Amino acid sequence: MRLAMVAGEASGDLLAGLLLKGLRARWPGLAAAGIGGPQMAAQGFDAWWPSDKLAVRGYVEVLRHYREIVGIRRRLTMRLLDERPDAFIGVDAPDFNLELEARLKTAGTRSIHFICPSIWAWRGERVKKMAHSVDHVLCLFPFEPALLARHGIAATYVGHPLADAIPLEVPRAAARLALGLADSDCVVALLPGSRRSEIQYIAPLFLQAAARLYRQRPALRFVLPVAPGLRALLEPMLAQHAGATPIALLDGRSHDALAACDATLIASGTATLEAALFKRPMVIAYRMNALSWQMMRRMQYQAWVGLPNILCRDFVVPERIQGDADPARLASDVLAWLDAPARAEALQQRFTELHQLLRRDTARTATDAIAQVLGRA
């Protein structure tokens, strides 16, 4: 079995790595190559380009990297048309993958998209492109296959691989021990994102909020997981925005940070779902280039931005976006969680129910669906 795959940024690499583990269990001799990151490499993936080449969010930011990204896609397309893998699996990154999938499908290569684009939240017109680009979609959320079926797109609900990877019972004590934190410590995890643009726009807000929290509660402890390659960008910000606030930088280890913390200040994205699966009270925040935000906001269909709120169909956690994301408000929202244990406990119950809904042995279920598409059941 020879597969080509493309995963963009850290979250796509994580999900693709979990999928590859299931694929290798079914087909031990599987060869997979394309664009990926360290999680995929750990499963034997041959990365021709690193996934962080695609880790760009926002219209203005994409324009700055447009020529490089289009050049990568062109070279990748020509190589795959020449090598003819058994199938192509695009993991998220729809703006990059859908056009590539359309070219490959037209040439006779089976095209599978893992993670339905959020057409239910914004940019619903992409469903038309999906209809002629993909043979099958592997959906993370239970309501998505019926939505795609209305447009003639075959799909399978496979659950979310993070719901399988993250235990139902949060390993709080073990995570605190691993991070050198005492059971009695009150811990806030800061997760400003895994893209360079997110560090530039969001990290200063989170660091300033942490400084405010520390001035009000000097006993607080802070941990900040750093995505690969971003430490050099983030370190100079500590002195500038956080002063003497004791913030422990962690190389990766976001799951340890989420398991160990009492609350998290977190950038909107896949990490918010991870925080929900760890049953953590959170404050979701996001800030990007102002022009990019205005363009995205006009295409937004729902009142919510964060995945936990979207899936629960309610503002179960605060969202502070663009101008609402200021350090004083963020610090106040975090304190509101720390000072309301009954509210936090009710949220944990809600998130436990969500966790059980999304737990479907995704690697096996997705592999079964891929086998059906390829006629290798």
| pLDDT score for 228 | 85
| pLDDT score for 67 | 80
**Domain extent listing, the chain:** 2-159+360-374, 172-358
> pLDDT digit string (tens) for 121-133?
667 788 999 999 9
**Inter-axis angle of helices 59-83 and 94-106, to 10 degrees?**
30
| pLDDT score for 194 | 87
CB 209 within 8 A of CB 325: no
- Which of the listed CATH numbers 2.60.200.20, 3.40.50.2000, 3.30.870.10, 1.10.3330.10 matches domain 172-358? 3.40.50.2000
Q: Which residues of the chain have pLDDT under 70?
A: 55-66, 120-122, 292-302, 377
- Which of the listed CATH numbers 3.40.50.920, 2.60.260.20, 3.90.850.10, 3.40.50.2000 matches domain 2-159+360-374? 3.40.50.2000
DSSP 361: -
| pLDDT score for 63 | 56
Nearest to 263 by CA among 189, 191, 324: 189
Question: What are the C-alpha distances in Å from 114 to residues 86, 89, 258, 339?
Answer: 16, 7, 25, 40
- pTM for this predicted structure: 0.80
Nearest to 194 by CA among 345, 71, 318, 92: 92
Topology match between the domains 2-159+360-374 and 172-358: yes
